[in-house]
Chains A and B, each alone.
Chain A
Amino acid sequence: MNDTMEEVSGMARRRIRFFAVSVGLLALLATAAASMGSVSLDVGEVLRVIVSRLFPFLELAVEAGSDVIVWHFRLPRIAMAMTAGAGLGMSGAVMQGVLRNPLVSPTTVGVAGGAVLGAAVAVILGFDLAGAARFMVIANAFVFAMATSALILLLGRLRGVTPESFILVGIALMSFFGAFTALLQFIATEDQLMRVVHWTFGTLTGSTWNNTGLVLAISAVSLPLLLRLAWDLNAMASGGDEVAASLGVRCGRVRVLCMLTASLITATVISFTGLIGFVGLVAPHITRSLSGSDHRYLIPFSALTGAVLLLLGDTIGRTAFTPAIIPVGIVTSFIGAPFFLYLLMTRKGQYWQ
């Protein structure tokens, strides 16, 4: 009994430590990111812009160029990195839990294939115009991504709502849509092809307060719902459907709700940014290995890890070769994958539980 108590309080300490460290890291990163860029502005100047924007009645004198750089370029980008990373992190945690599979993420099974196809349809078959095209690609990617997840749920249900059926249906649809995308790319002109390929290297260039707000709203509405399902997820993840059902969990319903919510978050994020693959897969693993696999903590903590990963990746991508920008989708895989491998190698056998 005493041992168990100690274990519990040890776990609680680890969680508190994880929370404190990741929030601190995020704050530090955000401050650093706001004062770094191809134009060098000191922290004071950055603060002046923020204060002048938040409290316009102070009538602080701010240089117009600094105002644009900080308020219109850097801050929306940082905010988008954090919200998009958080959204991807938590949907990854939910999907891995609900499908009881460590290889699953919103972009490996399910919506990503649909989103890429949607973007390809907009670029290759659609009318393609500055301004309007931007919206068309976003709308198409979102609609196709959601349609894909609806199809996965529908076909998975027909086969009995088990994790395997969702994963298998997801994989089958991924390659089916992949074939469609390849066919479109085959008939595409070289420029269209470039645009589709570029869309698959997600980037945060072009983030605005408006689209960040939308991603934030979707994630913020989803989080309480996912947290309400966290107990059910714990039961399903540790004991399997039979044990969970004996505890009164309606596994099928939980699975469908979780999949739908995770897909919604992911579809919203990647329709704005393009494909950002690795965060949703790796953030839950990192979180799990540092703070345990209780979903009540795993889901919000994976959001924190995702936010840290994406912000770190984007800041590196934005500042390493200024003024050239390396799309964040490439950078996250570069830093995420080795870190993931490190965790995998040093924590043999316990990465899942």
Chain B
Amino acid sequence: MAKIRWILLALLILMALNPLAAADTGVIEDSAGRSLEVEYPLDRVVVLTTPAAELIRAVGAADRVMAVSQTIAANEQYWPELSQRPVVSGSAMQEPDYEAIVTMQPQAVISYGTHPAVDIQAMADVLEPAGIAVIGIDGYKFDSLHADTALVGRLFGAADAAQEFTAFMEEIERETIRRRERIPSEARVSVYAESHSREYRGHGKGSEWQFILDSVGAENMLAGFDQAFLDVDPETLVQENPDFILKEAPRGLPMGYGQEVSSPVEEALAALYGRVGWQVLDAVGNENLYIISTDLGTGPGKFIALPYFGRILYPEHFEDISPAEYLEAYYEEFQGVPFSGFFVYPER
């Protein structure tokens, strides 16, 4: 009897040591709310989106990415390793090269889950019959970021690293809220936040920036509108006369990671100050116009936008916090790339 017990124990030890036994099949729920049976930890994946690639790199699993989209491959400075991988799609919004993917036999393909321009189920219909899991991971929305991070941790067998990343983001949010609580309600400022896409297209209540403005205790001039973005009548600005105007940097304006202040950025700010009729606005008279890089507040490190906005809108309450240090930690510790660049202009 004792002999059998020893044999059983030996078998158990063997099973634990066997690498095959470490693989686990489980049911996960992806960002799109789809229930999937996936075998993890994942070793061979194709990643089509930047936020998912950043999350995977943040949990230390970038070496398990075997192919990427052109969006990732094109940025060699930010993706020194992944830019060298085979490219199987133009961007997440385009149809990928299914034949190339099937030939590579990855365990999974990762793209956006809820992005309006991506039909994750259509991709799954093609790849699942070939035994390839298709997983939607957003990684770019405040309300799902922590869940997305946890999912990446689970899928890549890096739950601790994922937890560490989430703790980092939560600390930033906590520090911001703590300072917001100190701002008296009569000192709350109002903000007109303009989209990068065109003049007088503002951020409404449904936009991601609403979360940032709420977190720092500022009032969005267009919070009365449920949409993410809306075209606004210019005269409303004169009536509402917001304390601050924040303009999301138009695409192509050299701001953000790896950039240095240059004349196009200075000219863009001057063009904002020079907008027809804006001379009567308090935000213009008080020099409260800022351009915000789209690298801020968009990917998995998006909580770092909170203290940046805090420093712009309430300098006296946020002077003891250094948003740049958070960004430095994000880039150097979690992404493994050297920190450089400027993210708001004029710099705060």
Q: Which residues of A contact B (CB under 8 A)?
A: 37-39, 64-65, 67-69, 72-74, 127-134, 186-187, 189-192, 194-195, 198, 203, 205-206, 208, 318, 322-327
Which of A69, A130, A206, A324 has its CB near the most chain B CB atoms (within 10 A)? A130
**Does the CB pair B252–A327 fall under 8 Å?**
no
**Does the CB pair B200–A38 fall under 8 Å?**
no
Q: Looking at the complex, which one of B236, B247, B277 makes contact with A38 (CB distance below 8 Å)?
A: B236
**Does the CB pair B117–A38 fall under 8 Å?**
no
Q: Looking at the complex, which one of B93, B117, B231, B274 makes contact with A203 (CB distance below 8 Å)?
A: B231
From known contacts A129-B250, A194-B197, infer whether A39 and B117 are also in contact, taking CB-CB under 8 Å: no
Question: Who on chain A is nearest to B240 by CB?
Answer: A323
Question: Who on chain B is nearest to A187 by CB?
Answer: B90
Bound complex: CA A38 to CA B231 (Å): 13
Bound complex: CA A187 to CA B69 (Å): 12
**Does the CB pair B233–A38 fall under 8 Å?**
yes
**Does the CB pair A131–B231 fall under 8 Å?**
no
Bound complex: CA A344 to CA B330 (Å): 64
Q: Which residues of B contact A (CB under 8 A)?
A: 90-91, 93-94, 117, 196-200, 222, 225, 230-236, 238-239, 241, 247, 250-253, 264, 267-268, 270-272, 274, 276-277, 279-280
From known contacts A130-B250, A131-B271, A208-B276, infer whether A198 and B234 are also in contact, taking CB-CB under 8 Å: no
**Does the CB pair A325–B231 fall under 8 Å?**
yes
For A133, list chain B residues within 8 Å (CB): 250, 252
From known contacts A72-B277, A129-B267, A189-B251, infer whether A206 and B231 are also in contact, taking CB-CB under 8 Å: no
Question: Who on chain B is nearest to A66 by CB?
Answer: B238
Question: Who on chain A is nearest to B234 by CB?
Answer: A73
Give me 14 A-to-B residue pairs in the complex whose CB atoms sit less than 8 angstroms apart, sorted by A's number: A39-B239, A64-B280, A68-B279, A69-B239, A73-B234, A128-B250, A128-B252, A128-B253, A129-B264, A130-B271, A131-B267, A190-B93, A205-B199, A205-B231
Smallest distance from the beta carbon of A38 to chain B beta carbons, Å?
A: 4
Q: Looking at the complex, which one of A39, A189, A206, A323 makes contact with B91 (CB distance below 8 Å)?
A: A189
**Does the CB pair B253–A198 fall under 8 Å?**
no
**Does the CB pair A127–B252 fall under 8 Å?**
yes
Smallest distance from the beta carbon of B89 to chain A beta carbons, Å?
A: 12
Question: Who on chain B is nearest to A194 by CB?
Answer: B197
For B90, list chain A residues within 8 Å (CB): 186-187
For B196, list chain A residues within 8 Å (CB): 191
Bound complex: CA A191 to CA B252 (Å): 11
For A131, list chain B residues within 8 Å (CB): 267-268, 270-271, 274
Which A-B residue pairs are the 5 nearest by beta carbons?
A131-B271, A128-B252, A323-B236, A72-B277, A68-B277
Smallest distance from the beta carbon of B33 to chain A beta carbons, Å?
A: 22
For A324, list chain B residues within 8 Å (CB): 225, 230-233
Question: Who on chain A is nearest to B291 by CB?
Answer: A130
**Does the CB pair B276–A190 fall under 8 Å?**
no
Q: Looking at the complex, which one of A37, A130, A187, A191 makes contact with B233 (CB distance below 8 Å)?
A: A37
For A191, list chain B residues within 8 Å (CB): 196-197, 251
Bound complex: CA A24 to CA B117 (Å): 48
From known contacts A68-B277, A68-B280, A189-B251, infer whether A38 and B239 are also in contact, taking CB-CB under 8 Å: yes
Bound complex: CA A129 to CA B268 (Å): 7
For A189, list chain B residues within 8 Å (CB): 91, 251
For A67, list chain B residues within 8 Å (CB): 280
Bound complex: CA A323 to CA B94 (Å): 35
Smallest distance from the beta carbon of B112 to chain A beta carbons, Å?
A: 10
Q: Looking at the complex, which one of B91, B200, B267 makes contact with A132 (CB distance below 8 Å)?
A: B267
**Does the CB pair B199–A323 fall under 8 Å?**
no
Contacts A72-B276, A73-B234, A323-B236 known; 4 new A-B pairs at CB < 8 A: A69-B238, A128-B251, A132-B267, A195-B198
For B271, list chain A residues within 8 Å (CB): 130-132
For B91, list chain A residues within 8 Å (CB): 189
**Does the CB pair A195–B233 fall under 8 Å?**
no
**Does the CB pair B197–A198 fall under 8 Å?**
yes
**Does the CB pair B238–A323 fall under 8 Å?**
no
**Does the CB pair A129–B253 fall under 8 Å?**
yes
**Does the CB pair B238–A65 fall under 8 Å?**
yes
Q: Looking at the complex, which one of A39, A129, A206 makes contact with B199 (CB distance below 8 Å)?
A: A206
Question: Who on chain A is nearest to B224 by CB?
Answer: A323
Bound complex: CA A275 to CA B199 (Å): 17
**Does the CB pair B267–A38 fall under 8 Å?**
no
Question: Who on chain A is nearest to B201 by CB?
Answer: A198
Question: Who on chain A is nearest to B272 by CB?
Answer: A130
For B274, list chain A residues within 8 Å (CB): 131
Smallest distance from the beta carbon of B226 to chain A beta carbons, Å?
A: 11
Bound complex: CA A248 to CA B276 (Å): 52
**Does the CB pair B280–A39 fall under 8 Å?**
no
Bound complex: CA A321 to CA B231 (Å): 11
Smallest distance from the beta carbon of B151 to chain A beta carbons, Å?
A: 23
From known contacts A128-B252, A129-B253, A130-B250, infer whether A205 and B197 are also in contact, taking CB-CB under 8 Å: no
For A64, list chain B residues within 8 Å (CB): 280
Question: Who on chain A is nearest to B199 by CB?
Answer: A206
Smallest distance from the beta carbon of A121 to chain B beta carbons, Å?
A: 14
For B230, list chain A residues within 8 Å (CB): 324-325
For A206, list chain B residues within 8 Å (CB): 199-200
Which of B231, B241, B267, B272 has its CB near the most chain A CB atoms (within 10 A)? B231
Bound complex: CA A128 to CA B249 (Å): 10
For A72, list chain B residues within 8 Å (CB): 276-277
